[in-house]
Every structure is written in structure tokens, then in C-alpha cells.
Amino acid sequence: MSATDGTRKIEDDVVTDFSEKMSYGAYLGLDTLLDSQHPVSEPEHHDELLFIIQHQTSELWLKLFLHEIRAARAAIAADDIRVAFKRIARVKHIQATLTEQWSVLATLTPAEYAEFRGVLGNSSGFQSYQYRAVEFVLGNKNAGMLKVFESDPSAHRLLETLLGEPTLYDEFWRYLYRQGYDVPASALERDVSAPYVRNDELIPLVKAIYENVEQHWTAYEAFEELVDLEESFQLWRFRHLRTVLRVIGMKKGTGGSSGGAGFLQRALELSFFPELFAARTEIGT
């Protein structure tokens, strides 16, 4: 710092001329990113910017979530389980960030939100194609959801593709089969475009692995990674539910769902990897 005015001298090697060099802002596309918040309330309500940024940042994290979970699925399909573990570990940190974000939106009071909620029209998080894509990869598939995205060809194409592809869980059971485990045909040959439902034929295998950890360490570790993944997703869902209850109570969702909170409450009953939880009742008995 200068001894006279307290300012810090910029080091001689610091680049300051970006007329022909790529800058931080240019690399990140900040001109576009920071000009992507367009409140529609008139006069503009102070808290609408919070609402927009909350959802935009969630979509950015969902983009990375989808990138990583598809990479994890590909790694499992290639028998590279260690890389899959790495990708899933990153996803869990993304989930933690997404969950904590709700605390920011929860500072929006019911009265504040009511002042601009009406201008949102029918827009709703229900229409997030990236969220649907994540759920499709994890197993909660619903062909009927494609209708919501018919007006968005790229989103529709992505979801249609994912609908016909194996889920992360499907690829995991195929991986165990290739490793010599007695995975039932019902798990290997199921219709991957259908939503995943509990398969009781898998529970004895899950139980055996949990009860013989030393002999099946990699499979056991994979089970626990998947359990962590689902638990983190459920925490995100729960935090979403509690934020909605805090801000709008049991009002109908802007997208037309029969009660925003009620819809989210029912989502908590869904399980991506049901056998990994069902087997816990059987272990030790």
C-alpha cells in the first residue's frame, strides 16, 4: 500500500489492457449473463430480482448436475466405477448448494411475493426441462411430461432422448452383472422408458452385499453413494416444500398444479433406488 494515501499499488505484471486479450468477463460471458434478469412487474418490485436470480442460478447448477450425472452414467457403462464415484461426489456438493439456496428465497415474505406473483402468469418451476432431465436420468420418467415441452424443440428432444436411455440405476445393475453378480433378468431387461419401480427380485442381492461388505466392497460403496444421492435429492425436495409453505402456504401453483405445496409433498414419496432402502428392513434378520 502507498504510505501516503492508503491505496494498494497494482503490481507491474498485472494485465490491465484487454483490448486484444480475453478478459474474465469475456470468458464468462458476463455481459449476457448479467443482462439476463428482466423483472416484469410495473413498477418494478424490489424483490422480483431475488426471485429471478434464485431460479436462474438453480438452472445453472442443474445444468452442471445433468452434465455430471450423465458422465457418471457413461462411466458406469464403461466399467469405470471410480470415475463414476468422482462424478457422483461432485453432484452431491451441487445438491448441497441447491438446497442451501432455498434459505435465500425464504427471506421473501408472503406479502412481498404477493405484490408481483400475479405477473408470473403460468410460468412455474414445474416447467424446468433441466429438472425433468435430471429426474429422467435418475429414474423418475414420465412420457406425459414431454407434452409440456412441445413448444421448445431442443428441450423436447433432450427429454425424448433421455426417456429412451437407461437410467443411472439401470447402468449400475448392468455393471454388477458384468462383474459376475447374479442380477435377475427382470432388472436387466426392463423397459427403460418406463418409470423405475421397486423390483423385489433385487432385494436378496442387495441384502447379501450389505451383509458381506468385505467381499463386495465396491458394490457396497456404490450402494452407499446412491443412497447419499437420493437422500440429498430428498433434502432438496423437502427444503423446496418448506420454502413454498413459508411463502405461499397451500395456494395453487402458478403452473396450474393443484396446490404447489401439495404437489411437492407427494414428490417426497418417490424413490429413485427403492431396493437400497427396502433391503435395510431385511438386513440382520
Which residues carry a binding-site annotation? 51-55, 113, 117, 240, 254
Q: How far apart are CA 184 and CA 174, in angstroms?
A: 10
CB 1 within 8 A of CB 7: yes
* Burial (0-12, 13-18, 19+ Cβ within 10 Å), 283: exposed
Q: Which residues are annotated binding-site positions for substrate?
A: 51-55, 113, 117, 254
The H or E element containing residue 188 is: helix 185-188
Which residue in this structure is represented by grid cell 410495473?
42
C-alpha grid cell, residue 229: 444421492
Q: How far apart are CA 133 and CA 12, in angstroms?
A: 48
Q: Which residues are annotated binding-site positions for heme?
A: 240
C-alpha grid cell, residue 142: 414420465
